[in-house]
Structure formats: structure tokens, C-alpha cells
Chain A
């Protein structure tokens, strides 16, 4: 991938900032998401909560279904491939997807290697639960990062944990002496240059969104106040009582994430939130896939 292309791919993520990316499974849901103010949609066959419930191997979605969603909306369309499954990624590139999510929500296809994302022209977003994971994915060519959180649970605790972990590790590196960075690169198992970037800028070299367990406008604003640059909402919308209203409210809460009075009014009468599962009740920890 040319350096120029990587820059353009990071820049598309910059355009998505301050926005909400919503999981959708049909063109109809995609249209609802776009009308509610989604800045992009993630096309997938089953939302994480259903993947969790159904069990079994979860794979890339049918390209025909993804194309149907591409035709239905004008905003960027993302889709997921399995960790390490570079042929699924090649397929998604062939249908000109705007962003590939190499995602722990699907069953990993490779338990050692992630996709060499530098060999693609389309951009990749990857999940991370700490700074080491984030920088390793970036080194592999990811042009956007999101927290892993715990998808399909409606429980925000893990997204919070991952965002706080990244923040504290970034703060630590920012405060380090220059000569301590070599050792830090060794500990994190990442290239020295990326550690230097974090040291100098106090942030990741790419856009960082929150994902995994966001279910309410307050959850979304919480992640923004913790430093997320935007939010992915998966099961939280279309598993709730009134998807349209909830999606609208989450979009506005992300824009005005510090305005408690506004978020209070947005949180009224949203109907039932997705039921959710507590962290302790989960049998499958998706965040443990792909380090």
C-alpha cells in the first residue's frame, strides 16, 4: 500500500469523527440508521448479540447482502472479516467496501497472524483493549482503532476499561524520558517509532473510536468524555424497543457529549434498552480474540 493511500485511509476516519457508526443487517435498517444520523454503517449478517446467542462459527457476510446495503445508503459502508482471514478481506476490497473491520466479533480464522493490512488499498479498523494491541494493529496497517469492549452484551464496562487502559498507557509514555522509550517499545512489543509518536503527540497516530457494549445516549457520552473520537453502536440500537428514536438520541449525545441537560432530555422515553448480559454472565469473551 502506497504511503499516500494509507494517509487517505486515515483521513477518511478523520471525517467520521464525532459520529456514530451503526451495525445494520438489512438495507431497511441501513436506511433507518442513515436517517437517524449515522456517519457510517457496519453491514453484517447478524448483530453481535445474535451471534452470541446463536453460537457456532461466525463469518464474513454474504457480499450480495453487503452490496444491497451499499446501494441503500450514501454514507460509508463498512463490513467485518475474520481476524487473519485475508481472503475475506480481498473479497470485501473487490466489492469496494469503504472500511474493513478485522473483527473479534467473528470467529478468528488465524490464531497467530492478523492480516497484513499494508497489502490492501481499502482501509482497516481493528479492535484493541490496550495500547500494545492498538500499536501492533497500526503497525500491520490499520488506519483506525476502536476499543474492543465486549460486543453484543449491552454492558459498557469493558469498553470503559479498554479506553481507560489506553489513556493511562498513553499518559505514561508521554511523561517518560526519551531514553526510556526503547524499553517501553520492547515491553509493548511494538516498533520504537510508534512509541516515539505517542510520546510526542500524546495520542494514537490514527483515529480512535469506542465500541462494544454501548447501549444508551449516556453510554455514548461517557465514552466521548473518556476520550473516544466517535462511537460504534452494534446490538444496542436494533435490539432495543425503539431503534429509530434511540439511534437519533445517541447521535445527538455524541455531538453534545458534555451537555448533561441535553442528554437528560434525549434519554427520556427511549423505550426498552437492549436487555444485555453482565460481564460475569458471559461465556464467550470476544475481546480475548486476537492480541
Chain B
């Protein structure tokens, strides 16, 4: 199993560190040619969605990755990654993959002073640490979207087929159960 980590901007190295600790091989996606490497799952890291979305399009990576996701490639999207997947972003006109039928609110907790840490129940895993950095949350979901976690009434984690999207950053805390959960998703997709 090889996981590709989108590495155009943001906290991709943190995801790579977790994969390393779990002994999972990974590759970085920085430009179009990187997409020819064979990989079985995809991580869309935190960072700025405006930057990542723009670079995906202008570096010629957008259409291929969108097709891969539509064809069922397992994807773990954190924070900015969740915005890239969302069908609708309530407070932003920019549109990206639109493969995840949810409506997301960007910077939903406000500016950096609104960033916070908490521990909440995550369906199928238990209580996990959650770090929110200028984070989005999900306002509403369409049929078929499984809500995996809520924080203070807001949806902060969902799964839709092979897309796992989180408002928070599992790569920033020393608890790797989310990445293990995702690696199981990739394994069952490979069978």
C-alpha cells in the first residue's frame, strides 16, 4: 500500500511523519508528473484551501485527482482538504472537487483566537484528541453521508463512501487511530 500526500502547500510533512511511524510508504504530489506514480490512497492536508485549490488547478493536477476520487480512491481530508472536497462552501464562492455532498462553513470558529483543542467521541474509534486551527465545520449533509463526530453540536467529521473528511488535525497529535482507520479503508478498497 502506498499513500499519496498532496504537498503543494500546508502541513503535509506532519501527515508523512504519522505514515512513517505506522510504517506506511508514501509519495508526495507536487506537480502533474507525480500523478503518474501508482498510489492507493490520498491525503489532502491542512493549509490554506485558496492556495491549494489554485495550485491544483494551475499545476494541472486538478482533473486527474478529481477523477481518482470519483472512481473511489480512498481520501483522507483534513481542514483545508475538507473544503476542497465539499460540494458547497457556504461563505466562499470558490469551488473545488465537489465530490463530498456536504455544505461547509470556512473559518467557522473565527480567527486564530478561536482555534482550540478538545477531545470528542469519534464513531467507531472512541474518544480522540482534536486540534482545530482556524477550522471549518459542516453545516449540513446530504443523504448517504455518515456523521462520525460532532463538537458542540457542529459536525466535524464525516464519511461518504471512500471519502473521510475532518475539520480538525489528527496529524498534529500523538494519536494515530484516524490514520489507522484510513489505512483500513485503503486496504479494503485494494481487495
Residues of A at under 8 Å CB distance from B?
Answer: 4, 7-9, 11-12, 14-19, 34-35, 37-40, 70, 74-76, 93, 96-99, 121-123, 248, 251-252, 254-256, 259, 262
The interface centre, meaning the residue of B55, B106, B110 with most chain A CB atoms within 10 A of its CB, is: B55
Q: What 4 pairs across the A-B complex have the smallest Cβ distances?
A: A98-B112, A18-B9, A39-B48, A8-B115
Chain A residue at minimum C-beta to C-beta distance from B115: A8
Q: How far is the CA of A35 from the CA of B47 in the complex (A)?
A: 15
| Residue among B14, B30, B51 making CB contact with A14, cutoff 8 Å | B14
Near A by CB (< 8 A), chain B positions 108-145 give: 110-113, 115-117, 131, 133-134
Check A19–B10 contact: CB distance below 8 A. Answer: yes
Residues on B with C-beta less than 8 A from A34 are 50
Checking A4, A75, A256 against B48 with a beta-carbon cut-off of 8 angstroms, the contacting residue is A75
Note all chain A residues with C-beta closer than 8 A to B131. Answer: 7-8, 11
Q: Which residues of B sit under 8 angstroms from A17, Cβ to Cβ?
A: 9-11, 13, 47
A8-B50 CB under 8 A given contacts A15-B11, A122-B112: no
Residue of B nearest to A73 (CB): B50
Q: A249 vs B67: C-alpha distance in the bound complex, in angstroms?
A: 27
CB <8 Å contact, A18 and B107: no
Question: Which partner residue on chain A sits nearest B114 by CB separation?
Answer: A96
Tally of contact residues, B, Cβ under 8 A: 37
- Within 8 Å by CB of A12, from B54, B107, B112, lies B112
Report whether B48 and A121 are in contact in the complex, using a CB–CB cutoff of 8 Å.
no
In B36-64, the 8 Å CB interface with A consists of 46-48, 50-51, 54-55, 58-59
- Whether B27 is near chain A, meaning CB under 8 Å from some CB there, is no
Q: Which of these, A12, A18, A37, contacts B134 with CB under 8 Å? A: A12
| Chain A residues, CB < 8 A from B106 | 74
13 pairs from A and B in contact (CB 8 Å cutoff) = A11-B172, A14-B46, A16-B47, A17-B9, A19-B51, A35-B54, A39-B47, A74-B50, A74-B91, A76-B112, A96-B110, A96-B112, A252-B58
Q: Shortest distance in angstroms between A36's beta carbon and chain B's nearest beta carbon?
A: 8
Main secondary structure of the interface of B (DSSP, over half): loop
Cβ-based interface call for B31 (8 A)? yes
A15's partner among B10, B31, B59, B111 (CB-CB below 8 A) is: B10
A68 to chain B, nearest CB (A): 15
Q: How far is the CB of B151 from chain A (nearest CB, A)?
A: 15
The reply on B169 being an interface residue by CB < 8 A is yes
Query: How long is the Cα–Cα vector from A12 to B114 in the complex, in angstroms?
Result: 12
The answer on a CB contact under 8 Å between B112 and A99 is yes
Per the bound structure, the CA–CA distance linking A14 and B78 in Å amounts to 14
Q: Which B residue sits closest to A77, measured CB to CB?
A: B111
Chain A residue at minimum C-beta to C-beta distance from B106? A74
Nearest-neighbor residue (CB-CB) of A262 within chain B: B31
With A38-B51, A98-B134, A256-B31 given, is the CB distance from A14 to B7 under 8 Å? no
B160, CB-defined interface residue at 8 Å: no
Report yes or no: B50 in contact with A37, Cβ–Cβ below 8 A: yes
Inter-chain contacts of B116 with A (CB < 8 A): 8
Whether B133 lies near A11 (C-beta < 8 A) is yes
A96 touches B113 (CB 8 A): yes
In angstroms, Cα B91 to Cα A74, docked, is 10
Asked whether, in the complex, the Cβ of A98 is within 8 Å of the Cβ of B111, the reply is yes
Contact of B10 among A18, A74, A121, A252 (CB under 8 A): A18
* Nearest opposing residue in chain B for A248, CB measure: B58
